[in-house]
Structure formats: structure tokens, C-alpha cells
Structure 1
Amino acid sequence: MTTRAAQTVTPTRPTAPHPGAGRRILVGAALAATLPYLTLKAAWVGGSHLGIPEGSILLEPGLFFRVANSVTLAMDACVILLVLVLTRPWGMRIPSWLLTLPVFVATGLLTPIVLGFPSQLLVKALGMGADERVRAASKPFLESWVFVVVYSGFIIQAIALAGLFVPYARKRWGGLWQGAAGRRLPSPTGVVAGAAGGWGGGGGGADR
């Protein structure tokens, strides 16, 4: 009688996607795009009035705006950490549930800017916005260049993070939705759905 030796299959941990030229460009773009906002916030926390016109409510004394600037500075600095998680080998070992909050917060904050700011510029260019006299009579808040610089940086961050998240999720959670044959690579839509399933189910077998 022939005895077959039992074969033990040891699950392997997913490794970070290979840092190709495209991914390196996205990493550089995401990191560079954080600099304008971080620089402005750090300057405001330090007491600078850069980009803040006379009469702005932001110049009123008090602790509130300093705390708010410190919190939002830390939030944008988290983009740097998120970029590292999506590109470094140790990022594959981060528990799935830890990624839920920063990913969904980033999506919720950046998506309206990505969709709304270009539309606002287009409306203004077509002369369909608020009357110039109305804007001139209103109380100033920030110099107009601040919005252009900061929101442009946010848009670049959003595009870069999305481009980095798709290969990360495909590598980490691809087995959850490839199907029985396991031959077809998931689409970007499938990546998002599979990642959501991974978070909801505690990360699946790939995280253990």
C-alpha cells in the first residue's frame, strides 16, 4: 500500500507592491503636495499672518484658532504616514481596521475638494459667480492665493493616494475577490469592494 505524505501549505504574507517608476512619482507628488498646507499651518501656529488679510476673523486673539491649526496640521501630516503605509513592506502588516479611519476620513475630506474646487474655478471663469462688489464688501477671510495653493495640493494628494491605494489593496486583499480560478486580477472597483470586505471581516486570512 502506498502512503502519500501530507503536504502542508504555509500561507505567505503579502509583500508590498514593487516600487515602479509610476509609484515613485505618486509618492513624490503626494509628499510634495503636503508642503504648502503644512508650511502655512506651521506658520500660523507660530503666529505668522501669512496669507491672512487685515480684518480677517483669523486674526482675532484666542486659543481656538491655534488649536484648530495644530489639529489640522497633524491631520495633513498623517498623509505622509499613509503614503508610507501604502508603499513600505511593513505597511502590509498594519491591521486592516487601523486603515479604516484614515482612509475614509481622507476620502470624505478630499473628495468634495476634488469635485468642487475645479467647478468653482470654472464658474468664476465664466463670470457666473457672486458679484465682485458683493465679495469686496464681505469680510475677508484668507487671501485668494491661499485657496488656490492649498486646494491644488489637496487635489494632488487625493489623486496620488488613490493611485497608491489600488495596487496596495490588490496585493493585500486580491485573494478575497479573485474567484475560484484565481486568474483574473481585480478591477479598481473590485479593489475598493474587496478592501471594504477585508476591513469588515477583520482583514481576512491575508492579515493573519
Structure 2
Amino acid sequence: MERWDRTGRSAAYGAALALSPYLLIKVSWVIGSLVGVLPIGKGFGLAEWVVLNTVTVGMAAIGIALALALVRPWGMRIPGALVAFCSWVGSGFLVSVLPVVLVGALLAVGGDSQASQASQGGGDDPAMPAWEGVLVEFSFVGMGLGLALAVPAYLRRRWPDAFAGRVGDGPRTVPPWAAVVGAAVGLVWLYWAAGGTLGIAHPAVRNTDGYVLAAGYGFWALAGSAAVWTLTRARPARLPRWVPLVFGWVGSGSLFAWSAWKLPLMLYVALAEPPDVTPPENLTVAVVLHLCAVAAGATMLRTLVRTRTRTGTRTHTHTHSHTRVAGR
């Protein structure tokens, strides 16, 4: 077994193990709130709190199952589209949250307990003991780093030709509208990360986490858009295909995953108007922005898959023709 494959398999087991504390904590929150022994998050009723955390329990369970699917033999028998989609969404979530976890840890070391608590709780969790916050951060970091190593190893085993060749090997096509929309969304997020207030209804409630998240969203939105543009334009021709594919994969996943998560929350706040929840963004602007991000991310993924399929078919045909000539 190659060293890269061994590393990927170890990382997959590590990712599943790392996410287990988060799953157990979320299950305890659901059960504890139902029986009345744990507090409910600020701005939520019992039903909303249970539904929100039940969703995160399901997400954590899917994440653990995904990590195991990347290493166990039965993972190769699962439909490839399902494994790829779950990996895409999971990667999109984690690449944006990891910088927040890192900043929260640095602020905690520096003594900024309020910012550290915000990064641990995400702004909507009940007051948690410090050890729970540490476990939540460990789960995110461990899962993120584990997937970063396990997913490429799995893809290499299942689709060995997926990242082969150069950008110029593929056909040159018209860049999709999603690349433009994704770049526009990324610029808005970077503008907010830099302190811009246009589209911000409540500047006073902005915090360090919000700035870091916006910067991460913006970077990956621009990176994914640029990668899709590069692949569809087939320029520069000598660039290895795996470079734009990786950035396109992660960037489109970040666009889709986080906005698909934030969009229903923004709609809930707009319709229910809970008194204790005040997002910084103008709700109409936020809803439109997240809708654009979801549509752009999904379309960019479709473009990446179609580009790979066309290139793979072309490479297979080229190799087959050479084989026939050599056999004459």
C-alpha cells in the first residue's frame, strides 16, 4: 500500500473519531433541553432549538459515516455521486470554519474570553463549559484536517484519472454565469470583511468571528470562481488540472454549503422576528446573497463534473486510438 493511501486511510479514521465528541454534545443538548435540565439557546423556543440541533446531529452522523466510507471497503460500493456530494458539502463547511476556530484559540490565549466564547458557541449556543468548547473546536479541526487528506486519497482510488493531465487537455467552452455570480458574492463578503457597511443594517453587532467568516467566504468564492473560469477557458494550458479542480471543488462547496445553511436561518429571522436575534446584515440583502451563492455553487460543481467527464472521455479515446495503431 502506498504511503499516500496509508495516510489517507489513517486520516479518515481520525476524522470520524474527532467528530464523535461534537455528535455526543449535540445529542446531549437535544435530550437535555427536552427534559429541562439544559438551557435553550438565546432567541429560540424549545421547538426551534430542538429542530436546529437535531439537524446538526444528523449532519455530524453523516460526517462520521462519510469519513468511514472513505476508508472502508463498503465505501467503494456506495454510489460515487453520493460520496462526492457529501464530501463536497463537508469540505465547504469546514474550510470556512477552521479560520474562526484558529482565531478563537488565539484570542483565548490572549485573554479575550468574550470573543473566545463567541467562537466556541457560534453565537446561538447556550452557555457551555470550557471543556465542551474545546471538544467542539477539536471536532471541527480534526474533521477538517482528516477530510483534507482522506478525500483526495479516496478520489484517487476510485477515479484515478480525475486529476490527470493539464488544463489545456480539455475543450475550451464559454465560462458559466456561475463564475461571475460567485465572484460577485465573494467581493461582497470581502467588502464586509474589510469593514464595509453597505448592506449592513446593524454594524454594532458585528464581531471578530463575523469578519473572519466573511473573509473566508470571500476568498473561497473568488478562488472557486477563478478555478471554474480557468477550466472552461482551458488557459493556462500547461497548468496541472488538479490545481483548479481542487480550488473549484472547495470554493463551490463553500459557496453552497454555508449559504444553504444560512439561508433558512435568515428566512426564519425575517418571518419570526425573534427579539434576541439581530443579524448584522440587512435581511433582504442577506437572503438574496445566499440565494445567489447556493445557485452559483451548485452550478459550478456541475461545470466541474462535466469538464472532468469530457476530458476523461477524450483522454480515453486518445489512448484507445494509440493502442489500436500500435497493435497493427
Give the TM interval when normalised to the shorter protein. 0.5 to 0.7
Following superposition, the deviation at residue 88 of structure 1 comes to 2.8
The answer for the alignment partner of 1:81 in structure 2 is 65
Match of 1:42 among 18, 24, 27: 27
- Taking the aligned partners of 2:125 and 2:144, their CA distance within structure 1 comes to 28
Following superposition, the deviation at residue 157 of structure 1 comes to 0.6
Letter of the structure 2 residue corresponding to residue 173 of structure 1: W
After superposition, what is the alpha-carbon deviation per residue over 1:2-59, rounded to whole angstroms, capped at 9, x for unaligned?
xxxxxxxxxxxxxx9899653443233212212211111211222269xx976x6369
The answer for the alignment partner of 1:111 in structure 2 is 95
TM norm structure 1: 0.64
Tell me the secondary structure at the aligned position of residue 47 of structure 1: helix
Please identify which structure carries the higher helix content.
Answer: 2
The answer for the alignment partner of 1:28 in structure 2 is 13
The answer for the alignment partner of 1:142 in structure 2 is 127
The answer for the alignment partner of 1:201 in structure 2 is 306
Structure 2, gaps ≥5 residues long: 117-123, 167-239, 250-300, 314-328
Letter of the structure 1 residue corresponding to residue 135 of structure 2: V
The answer for the alignment partner of 1:157 in structure 2 is 143
Q: Highest Rg: 1 or 2?
A: 1
Greater RCO (Cα-Cα under 8 Å, separation 6 or more): 1
Quick check: 91-100 or 193-202, which moved more? 193-202
Tell me the secondary structure at the aligned position of residue 43 of structure 1: helix
TM norm structure 2: 0.43
Q: Is the 8 A contact 1:100 1:199 kept in 2?
A: no
Match of 2:154 among 164, 168, 171: 168
Q: Is the 8 A contact 1:95 1:203 kept in 2?
A: no
Following superposition, the deviation at residue 129 of structure 1 comes to 7.2
- Taking the aligned partners of 1:110 and 1:131, their CA distance within structure 2 comes to 20
The structure-2 alpha-carbon separation of the partners of 1:97 and 1:140, relative to structure 1 and needing over 3 Å to count, comes to closer
- Taking the aligned partners of 1:59 and 1:188, their CA distance within structure 2 comes to 44
Q: What aligned pairs does 1:58-73 form with structure 2 within 5 A after superposition? A: 62-73=46-57
Letter of the structure 2 residue corresponding to residue 166 of structure 1: P
- Taking the aligned partners of 2:98 and 2:139, their CA distance within structure 1 comes to 10
The structure-2 alpha-carbon separation of the partners of 1:188 and 1:126, relative to structure 1 and needing over 3 Å to count, comes to farther
The structure-2 alpha-carbon separation of the partners of 1:150 and 1:168, relative to structure 1 and needing over 3 Å to count, comes to same
The structure-2 alpha-carbon separation of the partners of 1:173 and 1:198, relative to structure 1 and needing over 3 Å to count, comes to farther
Identity level (%): 28
Quick check: 57-66 or 17-26, which moved more? 17-26
